[in-house]
Amino acid sequence: MAKALKIGFKDLYERNEFVHDLPKEKLSALVTQITGAEKDSRVVSAIVGTFNNLKAFANFEDDATNNTPALPDVRRQLDSPPPSKETPTVSSPSNVDLKLSYTINLNLPETTNPEVFNAIFKSLKENLLKE
């Protein structure tokens, strides 16, 4: 977990290699400095909370954290295209009746003016219900 923290919170460890030993107030100040967010921001408190919760599972004293092999570069695996597989051709009978449907979720504004709704539904009719 110590190794994962050092990878996941790389920016913090670049600023302070012993960030895991910082008290909560200094950690919050460091996160605020790096993110540029407000000191009492929910983002800052979420980052600090996550870091401290994960830190509880980490052993920074173990020499294995410095000697463990590097984690595989997942980004390289995600960027490479999947292995090529030929898609089998499926012949379909010509008498297949294929029908497609779609669902539209519409969030209507809060209003008491019926003209607003009339305009919305008129636009839907003109633009979506074309044949």
Distance in angstroms (rounded) separating the CA atoms of residues 113 and 17: 61
Whole-angstrom CA distances from 49 to 4, 43, 80, 120, 121 are 16, 10, 35, 45, 47
The answer to whether residues 13 and 19 touch, using CB atoms and an 8 Å cutoff, is yes
pLDDT in tens, 48-101: 999 999 999 988 887 444 544 455 555 555 555 655 556 556 565 667 777 777
Q: What is the CA radius of gyration of the chain?
A: 27
Question: Domain map of the chain by residue range?
Answer: 2-79
Residue 39: is its pLDDT beyond 90?
Answer: no
Mean pLDDT score across all residues of the chain: 79
Averaged pLDDT, 9-22: 91
Tokens of residue 84, six digits? 């090529």
Give the model's confidence band at 26: pLDDT under 50 very low, under 70 low, under 90 confident, else very high: very high
The answer to whether residues 43 and 35 touch, using CB atoms and an 8 Å cutoff, is yes
Residue 128: is its pLDDT beyond 70?
Answer: yes
pTM of the predicted protein model: 0.48
Query: According to the model, what pLDDT value does residue 104 have?
Result: 73
